[in-house]
Amino acid sequence: MPDQATTTFRPRVLSGMRPTGKLHLGNYMGALANWVKLQDNYECYFFIADLHALTTDYADTSAIAPNTLEVALDFLGAGLDPEKSTIFVQSQVKQHYELPLLLGMITPLGWLERVPSYKEMIENLAHKDLTTYGFLGYPVLMASDILLYQPQFVPVGQDQQAHVELTREIARRFNQFYKLADREVLPEPKVLLTPSPKLPGTDGRKMSKSYGNTIQITDPEPVVRQKLKTMVTDPARVRRTDKGDPDKCPVGDLHKVFSTPETLAKVYEGCRSAGIGCIECKGWAADGLVQVLNPIQERRASFTEPQVVEILHAGSGRARKRAEQTMQEVHTAMQLTLTGAAS
Ligand code: TRP
Ligand code: SF4
């Protein structure tokens, strides 16, 4: 069977995720589920950004490697297919150490200090000293991650959009300084904005690891049901006889994402008429979640650790080849080669 990758032109996409440990439903719906869909129509590079973890966790690196493996398992469980996509680990591809140095030379400090999340993160993570060169340079690292693969698109959520914009500016500046005769070395990639539904955590705020309100991709059914039981609901519905509104209820938001139209109709009708209780309603929401999680968990459990390591090694090898091609062009355009220099 002919390999689709070699027979049809498919635009290239690249995206990555920090190894934060086991992923939660928000990570799945906000990114992974979209990546899985891209696999058939794009040449895909997906990676785990373990060097990015160092920008904040440099003082204790012990969690990074185990978290990387967990995230890789979640990638595979969610349906990223190593036969279709190149799945790799940033630290295993040395070009990710190389290009940031060169791009750092041309990136004005003001561009980095102006990144919206920069000051915010320093304040939010006040217990860590983030007044480092590496942390300020985070966007240069990210620009390098992207530009090394010369992708047409970067599928990310809105929170990463500013970083991709900066990547485009860095690429533009590079291309102004350094040129090859026949083409642009670092084409400006476009954001492919991934739709991410509003996904509340158990306390009603946005699902986020830092709030401790997550439902993990790996949570077994009883845990999912238990977490749903304690989830906050429409505050107007205090007693069973009070009418509620699914549009004002975090459980309602989960139904919108995970339940069938029939169930959703029952929820609206029953909640607004006080015909159902919240416990029953939450049970239905859990049913919908479990339907989505079961196949992911089964696939996840089918991989052994050595298999995951092997997949990451193979993917990183392929990524190195692609990245090295770009580095050759970068070196040539920057005239960092000795051959021919004297002529
Ligand atoms: N900054 C991204 C995040 O925090 C992770 C990331 C690193 C990334 N390098 C990237 C995403 C390149 C897309 C492309 O989630
Ligand atoms: Fe929320 Fe369902 Fe209770 Fe309505 S019945 S308040 S949607 S949990």
Rounded Cα distance between 45 and 137, Å, is 23
- The model's pTM is 0.93
For ligand 1, say whether the CB of 160 is within 6 Å of any of its atoms.
yes
- Say if residue 261 is exposed, middle or buried (CB neighbours under 10 Å; 0-12, 13-18, 19+): exposed
Rounded Cα distance between 180 and 268, Å, is 61
In the chain, % of residues over pLDDT 90: 87
Q: Which CATH class is domain 219-298?
A: mainly alpha
4-199+305-333 with 219-298: one CATH topology? no
Q: DSSP code of 62?
A: T
- Identify the CA nearest to 87 among candidates 322, 326, 311, 325: 311
Q: At 297, which helix (H) or strand (E)?
A: helix 278-301
Backbone angles phi, psi at 13, to 5 degrees: -125, 150
Q: What is the pLDDT of residue 343?
A: 57
Rounded Cα distance between 174 and 291, Å, is 48
For ligand 1, say whether the CB of 49 is within 6 Å of any of its atoms.
yes
- Atom index in ligand 1 nearest the CA of residue 163 equals 1
140 φψ region: left (φ > 0), alpha (ψ -120 to 50), beta (else):
alpha
For ligand 1, say whether the CB of 145 is within 6 Å of any of its atoms.
yes
- Tell me the domain boundaries of the chain: 4-199+305-333, 219-298
- Identify the CA nearest to 175 among candidates 335, 334, 2: 334
Span from the CA of 245 to the centroid of ligand 2 (angstroms):
7
Span from the CA of 327 to the centroid of ligand 1 (angstroms):
20
Q: What is the pLDDT of residue 126?
A: 87
Q: What is the DSSP string of 115-131?
A: -HHHHHHHHHTTTS---
**pLDDT single digits (tens) 173-220:** 999 999 999 999 999 999 999 888 889 999 999 999 889 999 999 999
Does the pLDDT of residue 1 top 50, yes or no? no
Which residue in the block uniquely carries the two structure tokens 């498919």? 10
Geometric angle at alpha carbon 159, from 157 and 162, rounded to 5°: 105
Output the CATH code of domain 4-199+305-333: 3.40.50.620
CA-nearest residue for atom 4, ligand 2, is 271
CB 144 within 8 A of CB 96: yes
For ligand 2, say whether the CB of 231 is within 6 Å of any of its atoms.
no
β-pair type (153-156, 190-193)? parallel
For ligand 1, say whether the CB of 17 is within 6 Å of any of its atoms.
yes
Span from the CA of 261 to the centroid of ligand 2 (angstroms):
16
Strands, sheet with 190-193, edge to edge from the N-terminal-most edge strand: 85-89, 43-48, 12-17, 153-156, 190-193
Rounded Cα distance between 294 and 296, Å, is 5
b/e per residue, 265-275, with b = 16+ CB within 10 A?
Answer: ebbeebbeeee
For ligand 2, say whether the CB of 271 is within 6 Å of any of its atoms.
yes
Q: DSSP code of 91?
A: G
CA-nearest residue for atom 7, ligand 2, is 246
CB 190 within 8 A of CB 183: no
Q: By mean pLDDT, which of 204-213, 218-227, 267-276 is the weakest? A: 204-213
Q: Mutual orientation of helices 64-78 and 305-333 as an angle, nearest 10°? A: 100
Q: What is the pLDDT of residue 217?
A: 96
Query: Dihedral of the CA atoms 221, 223, 225, 230 (nearest 10)?
Result: -170
CA-nearest residue for atom 6, ligand 2, is 234
CB 233 within 8 A of CB 250: yes
Which two tokens mark 31?
Answer: 């990114």
- When pLDDT is averaged across residues 58-72 and rounded to a whole number, the result is 97
Q: What is the pLDDT of residue 196?
A: 82
**pLDDT single digits (tens) 286-330:** 999 999 999 999 999 999 999 999 999 999 999 999 999 999 999
Q: By mean pLDDT, which of 67-76, 162-171, 190-199 is the weakest? A: 190-199
3-state SS class at 141: helix
Backbone angles phi, psi at 190, to 5 degrees: -105, 150
Q: By mean pLDDT, which of 5-14, 16-25, 322-331 is the weakest? A: 5-14
Q: What is the pLDDT of residue 56?
A: 93
- Report which bound ligand comes closest to the CA of 13: 1
- When pLDDT is averaged across residues 255-261 and rounded to a whole number, the result is 96
Span from the CA of 255 to the centroid of ligand 1 (angstroms):
29
